Amino acid sequence: MVFVNFFFIFLFSRTMPRIYKKKLGTREYRNYSEATVNEALSQVVDGKLSIRGASEQYNIPYGAIYNRYKGTHMRKPGAQTVISESEEKAILKSAAKCSDWGYPLTLLDLIFFAKAFLDKKGRVVTKFENNLPGVFCLF
């Protein structure tokens, strides 16, 4: 078992997380603040401005205001997370408690920790084989 832990630590500790660089000339995303969108949306809801007028006045894309007004496309872009933010904090809090007790956890231990958490909750994640998250889920 010690060899297996050492093998996983050696194998995956040298793996760098992926860093994506934006290509030149690509479209810019979200060049506006949340407060600006909320202000523009309140103008639209009050009937003071149309969606097109708010888009031009606040320099926000028409689609962004329209989708917020209609309540569509409210999820984050990309693949949705399996574990919510509060569940992730609970797992990390438990891992920190193990560290306080003098038992530091390896990456493999954290993977099994997450599996036990999902099994205890009764959640079956079809993305994971045997409800066991992969190493790249930790980064």
- For the four alpha carbons of 82, 12, 119 and 87, in that order, the dihedral sign comes to negative
pLDDT score of 90? 85
**Do 110 and 92 meet the contact criterion of CB atoms below 8 Å apart?**
no
- Which of 24-28, 37-41, 113-117, 125-129 shows the lowest per-residue confidence on average (mean pLDDT)? 24-28
The domain boundary, picked from 70, 98, 118, lies at: 70
Mean pLDDT of the chain: 81
pLDDT score of 23? 77
The answer to whether residues 88 and 62 belong to one domain is no
- Which of 67-76, 101-110, 127-136 shows the lowest per-residue confidence on average (mean pLDDT)? 127-136
Between these two residues, 137 and 120, which has the higher pLDDT value? 120
Q: Is residue 42 part of a domain?
A: yes
**What residue numbers bound the domain in which 49 lies?**
34-70
pLDDT at 3 over 70: no
Q: Backbone dihedral region of 73: left (phi > 0), alpha (psi from -120 to 50 degrees) or beta? A: left
Q: Is residue 1 part of a domain?
A: no
CATH of the domain at 65: 1.10.10
The answer to whether residues 91 and 64 belong to one domain is no
Write the pLDDT tens digit of every residue in 90-108: 888 888 898 899 888 888 8
pLDDT at 72 over 80: yes
The domain boundary, picked from 49, 70, 91, lies at: 70
Mean pLDDT of 43-55: 95
Between these two residues, 35 and 16, which has the higher pLDDT value? 35
Mean pLDDT of 62-74: 89
Contacts of 59 (CB under 8 A, 6+ apart): 31, 32
Q: Is residue 10 part of a domain?
A: no
Is residue 11 very low, low, confident or very high in pLDDT (cuts 50, 70, 90)?
Answer: low
Number of domains present in the structure of the chain = 2
pLDDT at 41 over 90: yes
